[in-house]
Amino acid sequence: MSKLFLTLLASTLVFHVFAQDSTGLSPSRSQNKRNAKHEQINNRLRMEEEGDLIFNKHNIFGIRLATDGYGISFEKGKFRTPYRTFVYSFELNEKHDPKEHHVSAINSGGDITTVVPYKINNLYEFKVAVGQAHLIGGKGNKNGVSVTGLYSAGLTLGLLKPYYLDVQNRVTGKTDRMTFEELAKDTALTNDQQLTGSSGFTVGWGHLKYKPAANARQALRFDYGRLNQTVSAIEVGLTEEFYFSKIPLAYLVTQHSFFFNAYVSILFGSRK
């Protein structure tokens, strides 16, 4: 009986010791996990304070104004390091001849419209490019501005749409649609015909011509957003496009295949 009692007592003591050891290990492991998590959060906050970009990707939209037109853009970036990002960019632009200007015209109803003299084509561009962005200087603090240098290259699909004009016969009231080139070559025009304005954006899409090109871009981006999770920036840069054929934009104006412009963009987006 005494042996059984001693055996049970020893077993109870051993179980109690192991239970104390196991309960003593659990708080240590959970504490280590909590410490590691706090350290990770502190490191992230410290890097945020120092202006480092510690994200995986970004999506950025932009509105662009250039010396020869305007457009919209979308950029998708993948961070390789906090200082280097691989970017994919997509743009939709409308390009103008530098000498282009608007004049007023009066239609048959007495309304005033505008016409671009000697314009024969609208040029719309869809651009795809790949490149890299390099962080030159971080924000330093939440009220700072980060500076990033970018460069990219890619392909452009140009859509050349004829620019039509409405020409009305004062006697019959009939309206014909003609280009400036056709007007200049048509010797049958008389004083009975009157230019009443452009035919509008919706006219001419059935006569599109496709013009491929190569493009390149160099830019500086100034991000003034308070938090690194959001993008609020201004970008200034230069773009070049080389078309594989000459682009006729205006009548009796020298046609070019190479276009060079400066631009400024307002950007907004997010990082994750």
pLDDT tens-digit map of 11-24: 554 444 444 444 44
Asked whether the predicted pLDDT for residue 183 surpasses 50, the reply is yes
pTM recorded for the entire structure: 0.74
Q: Which residues contact 73 (CB under 8 A, 6 or more apart)?
A: 61, 62, 63, 64, 89, 90, 91, 92, 265
- For residue 188, give the 3-state DSSP assignment: coil
Closest by Cα among 88, 118, 85, 113 to 101:
118
Residue 110's pLDDT band (cuts 50, 70, 90): low
Structure-block tokens of residue 236: 């200034």
pLDDT tens-digit map of 131-178: 999 999 877 666 678 899 999 999 999 999 999 888 877 767 777 888
What are the residue boundaries of the structural domains of the chain, listed by start?
Answer: 1-50, 55-271
Residues in a beta bridge with 160: 123, 209
CB neighbours of residue 2 within 10 Å:
6
**CATH 2.40.160.20 is right for the domain spanning 55-271:** yes
* DSSP character string of 194-219: EEEEE--TTTTGGG-EEEEEEEEEEE
Structure-block tokens of residue 172: 């019959």
Asked whether the predicted pLDDT for residue 225 surpasses 90, the reply is no
DSSP 205: G
The C-alpha atoms of residue 256 and residue 99 are separated, in whole angstroms, by 13
- pLDDT on residue 21: 47
Residue 6's pLDDT band (cuts 50, 70, 90): very low
Structure-block tokens of residue 222: 């100034």
